[in-house]
Amino acid sequence: MGSNKVMDQVWPLRAQWADGELRLGGFDVTQLAATFGTPVYVLDEDDFRARCAAWTTAFPDADVHYGGKAFLAPAVVGWLRELGLSLDVCSGGELAVAQRGGMPPERVVFHGNNKSVAEIERAVGWGIGCLVLDSFDEVERVARAARGCGIRQAVMVRVKPGVDAATHAAWATGGEGTKFGLSMASGEAAEAVRRVLAEPSLELVGLHSHIGSQIFDLGSFGTAAERMVAFLRAVEHEHGVAIGRLDLGGGLGVHYLPGEKEAPTPAQLAEVLRAVVPEDVQLALEPGRSIVAPTTVALYQVGTVKGRYLSVDGGMSDNPRPATYGSAYTAVLASRTSDALPADFTVVGKHCETGDILVDGIDLPGDVRPGDLIAIPCSGAYQRSAASNYNQVPRPPVVSVRDGVAREIVRRETEEDLLRLFV
Ligand SMILES: Cc1ncc(COP(=O)(O)O)c(C=O)c1O
Ligand SMILES: N[C@@H](CCCC[NH3+])C(=O)O
């Protein structure tokens, strides 16, 4: 067990193996577990900041909107604000977190295929930077809300570019079959543009596409960009207007397992897009997973060891990804070293389903025992943000570590929190 087991891209940049245990942001995992309990999500704030900087450096002239759905908290909003990033939200709840975190409204973009009238009115009334229109219904609804506020609302139209990028079917959003956006091929998107331009209370500032999430093939981003640029030029030609902005969404993939070849970087994506997007078009991007996933490690305590089953104190309620999508993770014994021969374990949670598996088949020291801490890296995206209270299990906290300070940015949920919902 050497330090090399935390040198892989799946770990936060400053994860170390020191004095026989895993250290995150300068804190031993046993210390973090003693202070905050387990399960706990530990987020390395410096790593988060460095990954944001990698995007803004790779795209110095673009607007980088962090995809808040991956993981959002008011503290995160504060970091984004400081770092000059903007924010993409897709619900009233995410909007509320943006507001709590003090994000200026003009730096927020609101997505979603079914924003409620109340959400639209709230966003417009707040002075939100932009709404991304996803249907003809929304063209009318947002126009009405803007008229009601006596303003002209900046909007984009979400377009299906017809790009089927290689990823899990549930995360692919660029093809004709998706529920998101309006079809370029069928003429629906062009019709939406016409309707927007006919509404005096709407200002068409750009076009938007997002081809999906966890995508490694840069060529797919390039193809989508080419189609969107061609569409943008066609719209400009048809209507004699300049559409200054192209938002190409998020979706850059990360690796969850050690030893895989390096994931594509923002700089590599920038190279591909620079070759396609003309200089007079302002680019916007919406990375979520690629910023936050590798910054965070999930820490669990082993409760029971039964044959190959290693049961920990969390599970599918705090990380639904393996049970939902069959997503693969790695895990390490984090609280001590061991010379015991490795054995093949299945790390399972405490929920009442056989499918409540966190890591399906992993070599861990054969003497792993109750009380040990297990760390699962690359746990920052779509885990705590997608957590549930299945089996009335309270959701774990998120602790950020930086500069010798470890603090809860999302506190642990309590049973009182759960009981407060019942009438
Ligand atoms: C519109 C939009 N933008 C950005 C994102 C963020 O994607 P990712 O976390 O894969 O970067 C998503 C989620 O897939 C999305 O739906
Ligand atoms: N929830 C998915 C990603 C969804 C992408 C959101 N638009 C995941 O866990 O990877």
CATH code of the domain covering residue 237? 3.20.20.10
Q: Where does a domain end: 287, 304, 324?
A: 287
pLDDT confidence bin for 260, thresholds 50/70/90: confident
Q: Which atom of ligand 1 is nearest to the CA of 250?
A: 11
Q: Where does a domain end: 287, 316, 338?
A: 287
Using the mean position of ligand 2's atoms as its centre, give its distance from the Cα of residue 171 in Å.
6
Task: Determine the 3-state secondary structure of 203 from DSSP.
Answer: strand
Cα separations (Å) of 226 from 159, 243, 277, 299, 300? 13, 15, 7, 43, 45
In a domain, 325, yes or no: yes
Residues 262 and 306 grouped into a single domain: no
Residues 140 and 18 grouped into a single domain: no
Q: Which atom of ligand 2 is nearest to the CA of 324?
A: 9
Q: Is the CB of 382 under 6 A from ligand 2?
A: yes
In a domain, 178, yes or no: yes
Q: What is the pLDDT of residue 1?
A: 38
Query: For a pocket test of ligand 1, which of 85, 217, 289 has the largest count of ligand atoms closer than 8 A to its C-beta?
Result: 289
Residues 116 and 135 grouped into a single domain: yes
Q: What is the DSSP letter of 293?
A: G
Phi-psi region of 275 (alpha: psi -120 to 50; beta: other; left: phi over 0): alpha
Dist. CA 275–CA 291, nearest whole Å: 24
Please check the confidence at residue 3 and state whether its pLDDT lies above 60. no
Cα separations (Å) of 280 from 136, 242, 244, 247, 298? 28, 10, 7, 14, 43
Q: What is the pLDDT of residue 5?
A: 60
In a domain, 72, yes or no: no
Using the mean position of ligand 1's atoms as its centre, give its distance from the Cα of residue 298 in Å.
22
Residue with tokens 């190279």: 271
Mean pLDDT (whole number) for 209-231: 98
Name 406's bridge partners.
401
Please check the confidence at residue 158 and state whether its pLDDT lies above 50. yes
Q: What is the pLDDT of residue 9?
A: 87
In a domain, 374, yes or no: yes
286 is known to lie in a ligand binding site: yes
Residues 155 and 255 grouped into a single domain: yes
Dist. CA 58–CA 340, nearest whole Å: 45
In a domain, 275, yes or no: yes
Q: Is the CB of 115 under 6 A from ligand 2?
A: no
Element spanning 5, H or E: none
Contact 160, 181 (CB under 8 A): yes
Using the mean position of ligand 1's atoms as its centre, give its distance from the Cα of residue 212 in Å.
7
Using the mean position of ligand 2's atoms as its centre, give its distance from the Cα of residue 43 in Å.
19
Can the peptide bond before residue 39 be classed as cis, meaning omega within 30 degrees of 0?
yes
251 is known to lie in a ligand binding site: yes
Name 311's bridge partners.
304, 348
Residues 153 and 272 grouped into a single domain: yes
Dist. CA 77–CA 240, nearest whole Å: 38
Residue with tokens 């046993």: 30
Dist. CA 130–CA 108, nearest whole Å: 7
Residues 31 and 140 grouped into a single domain: no
Residues 274 and 325 grouped into a single domain: no
Determine what percent of the chain is predicted with pLDDT higher than 70: 98
For the chain, the residue count is: 423
Residues of the domain holding 242: 111-287
HSE-up of 208 (CA within 13 Å, CB side)? Answer: 32
| pTM exceeds cut of 0.80 | yes
Residue nearest (by alpha carbon) to ligand 1 atom 12 = 250
Q: What is the DSSP letter of 32?
A: H
Residue nearest (by alpha carbon) to ligand 2 atom 4 = 171
Q: What is the pLDDT of residue 6?
A: 67
325 is known to lie in a ligand binding site: yes
Residues 309 and 255 grouped into a single domain: no
Using the mean position of ligand 1's atoms as its centre, give its distance from the Cα of residue 248 in Å.
10
Query: For a pocket test of ligand 2, which of 252, 255, 289 has the largest count of ligand atoms closer than 8 A to its C-beta?
Result: 289
Query: For a pocket test of ligand 1, which of 52, 55, 69, 80 has the largest count of ligand atoms closer than 8 A to its C-beta?
Result: 69
Q: What is the pLDDT of residue 8?
A: 84
Dist. CA 85–CA 66, nearest whole Å: 7
Q: Is the CB of 69 under 6 A from ligand 2?
A: yes
Dist. CA 11–CA 5, nearest whole Å: 9
Query: What is the per-residue pLDDT across 378-403, written as a single tens digit (0 to 9) for each?
Result: 999 999 999 999 999 999 999 999 99
**Could you write out the DSSP letters of every residue in 57-70?**
HHSTTSEEEEETTS
Residues 179 and 257 grouped into a single domain: yes
Q: Where does a domain end: 287, 317, 349?
A: 287
In a domain, 67, yes or no: no
Mean pLDDT (whole number) for 233-255: 96
Report the catalytic residues: 352
Q: Which atom of ligand 2 is nearest to the CA of 69?
A: 6
Nearest to 204, CA basis, from 149, 138, 130: 130
Element spanning 200, H or E: none
C-alpha distance across the termini of the chain, in Å: 52
Residues 216 and 132 grouped into a single domain: yes
Contacts with 408 (C-beta within 8 Å, 6 or more apart), sequence order:
36, 397, 398, 399
Q: Is the CB of 171 under 6 A from ligand 2?
A: yes
Contact 40, 396 (CB under 8 A): yes
Q: What is the pLDDT of residue 262?
A: 85
Q: Is the CB of 384 under 6 A from ligand 2?
A: no
Using the mean position of ligand 1's atoms as its centre, give its distance from the Cα of residue 53 in Å.
18
In a domain, 64, yes or no: no
Residues 222 and 126 grouped into a single domain: yes
Query: Residues enclosing ligand 1, CB less than 6 A?
Result: 67, 69-70, 88, 111, 210, 213, 249-252, 286-290
HSE-up of 222 (CA within 13 Å, CB side)? Answer: 12
Contact 171, 386 (CB under 8 A): no
Please check the confidence at residue 141 and state whether its pLDDT lies above 80. yes
Q: What is the pLDDT of residue 4?
A: 45
Q: Residue 300 maps to which CATH number?
A: 2.40.37.10
Q: What is the pLDDT of residue 261?
A: 83
In a domain, 188, yes or no: yes
pLDDT confidence bin for 259, thresholds 50/70/90: confident
Q: Which of 17-21, 61-65, 67-71, 93-97 has the lowest mean pLDDT?
A: 17-21
Please check the confidence at residue 2 and state whether its pLDDT lies above 60. no
289 is known to lie in a ligand binding site: yes
Total count of domains within the chain: 2
Q: Is the CB of 383 under 6 A from ligand 2?
A: no
Please check the confidence at residue 280 and state whether its pLDDT lies above 50. yes
Residues 274 and 172 grouped into a single domain: yes
